[in-house]
Structure 1
Amino acid sequence: MVAKNAPVLSSRALNRATLERQLLLRRTAVPAKDAVTRLVGLQAQNTRPPYFQLLARLEGFDPAELSALMESREVVRIVTLRSTIHTHTADDALTLRPLVQPARDRELKVFRRGLTGVDLDRLASLAKELVEERPRTMKELREELIVHWPDADPRALSVAARCLLPLVQVTPRGMWGRSGQVALTTVEHWLGRASQPAPAPDGTVLRYLGAFGPASVKDMQMWAGLTRLSEVFERLRPQLVTFRDEHGVELFDLPDAPRPGPDVPAPPRFLPEFDNVLLGHADRTRIIPAAYKGRNGVGNQAYGTVLVDGFLAALWRLDETGDDATVTVQALGGLGREQREEITQEAVDLLTVMSQASAYDVRFAPFVDFGD
Structure 2
Amino acid sequence: MRPPIGYKKLAAVGVAAVVGVASTIALTSGSASAAPVFGYSGYAFGTDVQTGLAKSGPQVVSQIACTTDSNRSDHNDLATANVNDQAIARSVTTGTHSFNDKRGNGVTSNATAVDIKIGSLLTLTGAKTTTTAVYQNGQLSYTGSTTFAAVKIGAVSVPSLVKPGPNTKVAVPGLGYIVLNRVGGVKTNTGIYSYAQAVVVHANVKNRYVPQGVDVAVLKTRAEITKPATAMVIGDAYGTKANVDKLVTSGPTSYQSTCQGTEGKTIRNAVAEVSIPKVAYVGAVYTTKNGAMGTEKSAVNFTSHVAGVKVGNLSIGAIESSASAWKTKDGKVGLDSTSSVVSVKVGNKVYIMPNKPNTTLDIPGIAKLTFNQVLRQKRYISVNALVIDVYGLNTKVIVGHSAAGVIG
TM-score after normalising by structure 1: 0.30
- Larger fraction in helix: 1
TM-score after normalising by structure 2? 0.28
**Larger relative contact order (C-alpha < 8 A, sep ≥ 6)?**
1
Q: Which has the higher strand share?
A: 2
